[in-house]
Amino acid sequence: MSEYVSPSSVPAQRTISPSEPLAQADPFELAEAAARSIRGRTQVNTHDIALILGSGWSGAADLLGETVATLPARQIPGFRAPAVAGHGGNVKSVRIADSDTHALVIGARTHYYEGYGVRAVAHAIRTAAACGARTIILTNGCGSVNPEWGPGQVVLIRDHINLTGASPIEGAHFVDLTDLYAQRLRDIAHEVDPDLPEGVYVQFRGPHYETPAEVTMAGILGGDLVGMSTTLEAIAARQSGMEVLGLSLVTNLAAGVGSSALSHDEVLEAGRDHAERISQLLATIVSRIARA
């Protein structure tokens, strides 16, 4: 696993305001500042597991265990309120039930299409690493290229295809992505639900939905799912030395696979319809990981 890129070459204690633009601060220095803020306000020195909760997954935060603190994301250096309906705007510290392990639950995802740059997309991941997390769980809502996976199906991500044309890694840092989505964590998820299928997630830049021809292309390339998040976050997590587990909730059949028009309302509806089941699934997986 690749070595965590430390900001040790820059002053560690410079005060960074929550509103300071990411472009004006070293990304790892900013992550350290965010981690100091989280530690100070939660009084939790180490968060061992981190979760990024995408569309439909937010209910899992309440099932993990005792919420130690809830912080508005915009008050933490480098974070901003989410721009997408269905995403929470808070960062929570949760003590996982029946353990001494704490989880950092991030409901403030920045998408690449928002135009803030790749550093903003990766900031939550780098903050989690600076908080001590060695495992990160990335969730999303997505479209299915496979007509057999309809709304409500949860799919483990076994690999991805990044079609954004971007990377969160800057400079000559060569990171191996061969086993990016950890087999160990997927095995734990299969222990919880042996019927979970695995697939390849394809990230497009967005915010427009894919055309039928683009969905066909994704399938030809080996993709099973299409969406607008996750891959850049996963790359940043690997650079920071974390194990990655990815879970996708199918919210709709992708363009050309299904016959209905696509809308974000459909994504939100699928999330509401299946929230209780998938939240319980995720909470159980996290509990198993914490005890492993």
Active site residues: 210
Amino acid at 209: Y
- Reading phi first (left if > 0) and then psi (alpha if -120 to 50, else beta), residue 165 is in left
Beta bridge partner(s), residue 63: none
The sign of the CA dihedral 153, 159, 163, 165 is positive
Query: Are 54 and 201 spatial neighbours (Cβ–Cβ below 8 Å)?
Result: no
Give the CA count within 13 Å in the CB-facing half-sphere of 235. 20
Verify cis geometry, omega within 30 degrees of 0, for the bond prior to 207.
Answer: yes
DSSP letter, residue 4: P
Cβ(114)–Cβ(120) below 8 Å: yes
Distance CA 38, CA 128 (A): 10
User: DSSP letter string over 111-174?
Assistant: PGGGSS-HHHHHHHHHHHHHTT-SEEEEEEEEEESSTT--TT-EEEEEEEEE-SS--S--SS--
